[in-house]
Structure 1
Amino acid sequence: MTTRRRLLAGLAASSLMPSLGWSSVGTPDFLSAARRADGQFVLAGLTRRGDVTFTIALPARGHAAAAHPDRAEAVAFARRPGTFAVVLDCRDGTVLARLTAPAERHFYGHGAFSADGKRLYTSENDYEAGLGIIGVWDVEAGYRRIGEFASGGVGPHDIKLMPDGRSLVVANGGIETHPDMGRTKLNLPVMQPSLSYLSLDGDLLEDVTLPWAQHKNSIRHLALHTDGTVAFAMQWQGALKDSPPLLGLHQRGTPPRLLSVSQDSDRRLNGYAGSVSLSGDGAQVAITSPRGGILHVFDVTSGAAVAVHEATDVCGIGGVGQGFVYTTGGGLVGTLNGALQRHDLQWDNHLIAVSA
């Protein structure tokens, strides 16, 4: 008699096995954490047209997620400082694994898969040493932690796999914190944010810092284009009257470029850029500010501002084609040309791109 295991093996070998890829959950373009009207926190799949393809319950408020490159599988991270992350089968919500930060560590809400999906890299805080750490997890072994290395700075937040598939870029926010002090920032007078480029073995390939006048501009979130352009969004820790630029661009081997609309418009960001994205074609870059209810769009080549768009509590943003899709805390999914859909969901900070 043919056993179920042999049948499944035979189907897989003959390519008749149903796909476990992202098409099995409606081919979402993005993942986003959200909160339902009943207070339940969820992870949702979202298309560029504003359709919700799935929602899965989360144990607490989520921040960002990491989408597996091949399987309909995502790692949802707690809002910082959090010590948990859950690996979810996005087809039915099954918890495949739970990641727990080691002792005296917490996650920063972001992670990135290797190109082949066999490794997961997580940004973490070694709060007793005051150092940033990148945790390494073996996906094929059930997300077993197998190592770690220095992030190249303090307070690593966002982390992305570079287009070469052989290196990572890390947004070291520069802010030292400790769970015993809540979200209190402990080192503002001497903080130094940076972009660190690291090999997958942890070697520091390049370290990029801002001029000292910008040393309180905490580098928080990242976006990439296939040509290696890194866009980074910042959150200003100094006096708001100074209104510094909150968006930067960088390519390895060159100085960073800071982009600004005008002092008056920059002041409307209230010192806070929540998310950043490059358009699908890489020609434009945008940042959002939920505090200011505003979105700024720039031309990548010239650095010139091309659009200022108002949307209450806007934060999540993702690149599509020549433009962007954004989400708001009021449930709106929109573009610069208008609303797409509104859902009974309070969208959280980020739209995480899915490679379907």
Structure 2
Amino acid sequence: METRRGFLAGVLASGLVPMPTWADVGDPTFLSAARTPDGGYILAGLDARGSIRFRIPLPARGHAAAAHPQRPEAVAFARRPGTFAVVLDCRNGDVLARLDSPQGRHFYGHGTYDQTGEVLFTTENDFEAGRGCIGVWDARRGYRRIAELPSQGVGPHDLRLMPDGTLVVANGGIDTHPASGREKLNIPDMRPNLSYLDVDGQVLDQVEPSAHLASVRHLSVRNDGLVGIGMQWQGEVAAAPALVATHRRGEVLREMGDGRRLDGYVGSVAFSGDSGRLAVTSPRAGVVQVFDLDGDGTEHCFEDKDVCGVAGTTRGLICTNGQGGLFSIANAAAHLARHDLAWDNHLVSLA
């Protein structure tokens, strides 16, 4: 009789072992970092109803995560200016790899895989040179760092993969240095931009907001290549201009809304599942602004204390707040669930 070991060896050799998928951890729809009541930190998988499908511990406070497009694997980034990120097996919480930024660099809390899941891109600060860069990591070989690209700006925060496989980067324009903590060193002459890059780091397009104190921070990308943008104002709130925009390569930036209603601060941005609306959150103002993109740009405002995470669903949008709450937005806001957690800034879609 064939031994179990021999059988497994034969299965492995034949390539018949099924690869793990997100279905193995309850088929979650979203990821979010959170703080637990005892002061610990976790990464959680959530479904569209707000139920938790899995939760695994994090070594420190998380910011955003990058979800592998096929495997139940996620990269959890430390809050900026963190120098490490961990690659987690979401089935059991095992640390598959640790990403340490090279000397003279720190992460900005965001990253994205390419379409195959074989390459990970991370936003980083070259703080001695005062320039932004994109780290390139080989996910097939233990997340070995294989290259570095210029972000084509200062202070890259968010980056996303475009439908054609290129990258779009939110260069916030703010120069920082670990020796100065989170102090902003160049506000008078900051130059934020939105940059489109090919995988070799060459600029395909670049635009700047109309006000140079509007730091380009967070992004969402629609299936047709339209980019949603959330900005943070670095001046007096009473003077805050529009801090929400959409952009398509080769066209002008379309700015909308009133930054004063957001208290000068956008925490997250997302397109609705039907792509017809764009939502931004402001935990400082305790509001969600939703813009109708198919019509005349009508703005709807929903109030919720400490709201920040937002993502699209098939029926509309889902939001999280710092009190553990989740609510959906279709034609109105509706409570979904509440957990004994403090959700962090971002709700990451696995779609």
Q: Give the TM-score category using the shorter length.
A: over 0.9
Matches for 1:46-57 after TM superposition, within 5 Å? 46-57=46-57
Measured in 2, the distance between the counterparts of 1:141 and 1:102 equals 18
For residue 137 of structure 1, what is the amino acid of its counterpart? W
For residue 55 of structure 1, what is the amino acid of its counterpart? R
Deviation sequence 1:127-149 (CA, Å, 0-9, x none):
00000000000011100000101
Corresponding residue SS for 1:71: coil
Deviation at 1:11, TM superposition (A): 6.1
Measured in 1, the distance between the counterparts of 2:153 and 2:223 equals 25
Matches for 1:65-214 after TM superposition, within 5 Å? 65-165=65-165, 167-211=166-210, 214=211
Corresponding residue SS for 1:153: coil
Deviation at 1:267, TM superposition (A): 1.9
- CA gap of 1:61–1:242, structure 2 versus 1, over 3 A, is same
Deviation sequence 1:89-109 (CA, Å, 0-9, x none):
000000000000000100000
Deviation at 1:173, TM superposition (A): 0.3
Give the corresponding residue for 2:8: 7
For residue 51 of structure 2, what is the amino acid of its counterpart? D
Deviation at 1:10, TM superposition (A): 1.1
Measured in 1, the distance between the counterparts of 2:10 and 2:229 equals 45
Measured in 2, the distance between the counterparts of 1:12 and 1:310 equals 57
Deviation at 1:8, TM superposition (A): 5.6
Measured in 2, the distance between the counterparts of 1:12 and 1:314 equals 50
Matches for 1:330-345 after TM superposition, within 5 Å? 330-336=323-329, 337-345=333-341
- CA gap of 1:354–1:8, structure 2 versus 1, over 3 A, is farther
For residue 344 of structure 2, what is the amino acid of its counterpart? D
Give the corresponding residue for 1:270: 263
Corresponding residue SS for 1:280: coil
For residue 158 of structure 1, what is the amino acid of its counterpart? D
Checking the alignment, whether the CA contact within 8 Å between 1:296 and 1:305 is kept in structure 2 is no
Of 39-48 and 86-95, deviating more is 39-48
Corresponding residue SS for 1:268: helix
Deviation at 1:299, TM superposition (A): 1.1
Confirm whether residue 248 of structure 1 aligns to residue 241 of structure 2: no
Measured in 2, the distance between the counterparts of 1:334 and 1:58 equals 25
Deviation sequence 1:21-79 (CA, Å, 0-9, x none):
10101111111010011111011101111011111111110000000000000000000
Checking the alignment, whether the CA contact within 8 Å between 1:283 and 1:322 is kept in structure 2 is no
Provide TM-score, normalisation by structure 2: 0.96
Measured in 1, the distance between the counterparts of 2:199 and 2:143 equals 17
Deviation sequence 1:167-215 (CA, Å, 0-9, x none):
000000000000000000000011011111001121111111122xx10
Deviation at 1:301, TM superposition (A): 3.4
Deviation at 1:259, TM superposition (A): 1.0
Checking the alignment, whether the CA contact within 8 Å between 1:259 and 1:303 is kept in structure 2 is no
Provide TM-score, normalisation by structure 1: 0.94
Give the corresponding residue for 2:350: 354
For residue 170 of structure 1, what is the amino acid of its counterpart? V
Confirm whether residue 305 of structure 1 aligns to residue 303 of structure 2: no
Checking the alignment, whether the CA contact within 8 Å between 1:278 and 1:319 is kept in structure 2 is yes
Higher RCO structure, 1 or 2 (CA under 8 Å, sep 6+): 1
Confirm whether residue 41 of structure 1 aligns to residue 41 of structure 2: yes
Measured in 2, the distance between the counterparts of 1:74 and 1:282 equals 25
Measured in 2, the distance between the counterparts of 1:9 and 1:354 equals 33
Unpaired stretches in structure 2, ≥5 consecutive residues:
none
Give the corresponding residue for 2:58: 58
For residue 10 of structure 1, what is the amino acid of its counterpart? V
Confirm whether residue 226 of structure 1 aligns to residue 223 of structure 2: yes
Corresponding residue SS for 2:117: coil
Unpaired stretches in structure 1, ≥5 consecutive residues:
none
Deviation at 1:338, TM superposition (A): 1.1
For residue 114 of structure 1, what is the amino acid of its counterpart? D
Measured in 1, the distance between the counterparts of 2:3 and 2:201 equals 48
For residue 255 of structure 1, what is the amino acid of its counterpart? V
Deviation at 1:315, TM superposition (A): 0.2
Measured in 1, the distance between the counterparts of 2:183 and 2:260 equals 24
Deviation at 1:306, TM superposition (A): 3.8
Deviation at 1:244, TM superposition (A): 1.2
Measured in 1, the distance between the counterparts of 2:65 and 2:313 equals 19
Corresponding residue SS for 2:80: coil
Checking the alignment, whether the CA contact within 8 Å between 1:34 and 1:44 is kept in structure 2 is yes
Measured in 2, the distance between the counterparts of 1:12 and 1:327 equals 45
Measured in 2, the distance between the counterparts of 1:272 and 1:100 equals 30
Measured in 2, the distance between the counterparts of 1:119 and 1:328 equals 31
- Which of residues 232, 249, 255 is equivalent to 1:235? 232
Give the corresponding residue for 2:272: 279
